[in-house]
Amino acid sequence: MKITLLGTGGPRPDPRRMAAATLISLGDEHVLFDAGRGVMVQMVRAGIPLDRIGPVFVTHHHFDHIGDLFDVMLNTWIAGRKTPLTIYGPPETGRIVEALTTRVYDKDIAWRSLGEPTFGGWRPIEVHDVVAGPVVDTGRWKVSAEVVRHGEGLGLPPAFLARWTCLGYRFEAEGKVVAISGDTVACDGLDRLAKGADVLVQVCFLARSEIRGRHFERLAEHTLACADTVGKIAERAGVKTLVLTHHRPRPEAADEALLAEIAEDVGRDFSGRIVLARDLMEIEV
Ligand SMILES: [Zn+2]
């Protein structure tokens, strides 16, 4: 089993990092978690056959996680995908996919279906809105989901929060566990996801020294886990390898030093192996 970190950035454009996308490959199966900016270009760079991608697990509906979902749907089809592409995600993932296929790219799909019939016509998308619990068990691998905390506590209206579900996923195969935190701060759902994981791919947005000022203090508390908490989370879960991702775009000159600082911060709380995620890095599990 192999993890490929396709995108290790966030919402803001970063010349060195694409947005959130993590691939787990098991033989010729390529299971994708999130589809942020640049995901398909990174697939090509990583040498992944585009028609073999799927299913896709969406953690939540911020654009740095689903911005290129249309690209996955369309380019897997153009590359020769013969079967429906299955997408799992929190409630309203179906609504988003429906909008993309019937209201945004409906003309593109019709143009290619009718004008370029050698593609064999549109290959549909199968969407499943999911909540916490077991999601899929193929016999070869299984995935379960947990609800995580990403923005609760920011004072968003209850009517909005009722529609805002963020998930993390736990992928199990060959006796190994890979946990994908999704965007979250420390919470019970993340603890359950990470429990005993061989690898935890964990959001870690800021070094301790960067958590300064009202905006970043609120962010570290309610929105994205940072270097002050992720080591503790991984240590109490007994994680073996902690992969730190979802990096903030930083000035070129400061980036490496701040990444090293993050590793140092986290290393004070965590005794396992720490990996600073970089785009296209591969991790054997
Ligand atoms: Zn994000």
Domain count, the chain: 1
CA–centroid distance, 5 to ligand 1, in Å, is 14
The DSSP bridge partners found for residue 241 are 199, 273
CA–centroid distance, 150 to ligand 1, in Å, is 9
CA–centroid distance, 20 to ligand 1, in Å, is 6
Catalytic residue among 64, 68, 265, 279: 64
CA–centroid distance, 67 to ligand 1, in Å, is 11
Which residues keep their CB under 5 angstroms from ion ligand 1?
10, 64, 183
Residue 34 is given by DSSP the state: -
Distance CA 224, CA 207 (A): 12
Q: What is the pLDDT of residue 166?
A: 98
CA–centroid distance, 120 to ligand 1, in Å, is 35
CA–centroid distance, 193 to ligand 1, in Å, is 18
Quickly list DSSP for 122-155.
PPPEEEEE--SEEEEE-SSEEEEEEEEBSSTTS-
Range of the domain at 61: 2-284
User: 204 and 245 in contact (C-beta within 8 Å)?
Assistant: yes
Q: Is 64 an active-site residue?
A: yes
CATH number of the domain within which 21 lies: 3.60.15.10
Distance CA 39, CA 67 (A): 9
Per-residue pLDDT of the chain (285 residues; tens, 9 = 90+): 999 999 999 999 999 999 999 999 999 999 999 999 999 999 999 999 999 999 999 999 999 999 999 999 999 999 999 899 999 999 999 999 999 999 999 999 999 999 998 878 999 999 999 999 999 999 999 999 999 999 999 999 999 999 999 999 999 999 999 999 999 999 999 999 999 999 999 999 999 999 999 999 999 999 999 999 999 999 999 999 999 999 999 998 899 999 999 999 999 999 999 999 999 999 999
User: 15 and 46 in contact (C-beta within 8 Å)?
Assistant: no
Q: What is the pLDDT of residue 279?
A: 98
CA–centroid distance, 167 to ligand 1, in Å, is 12
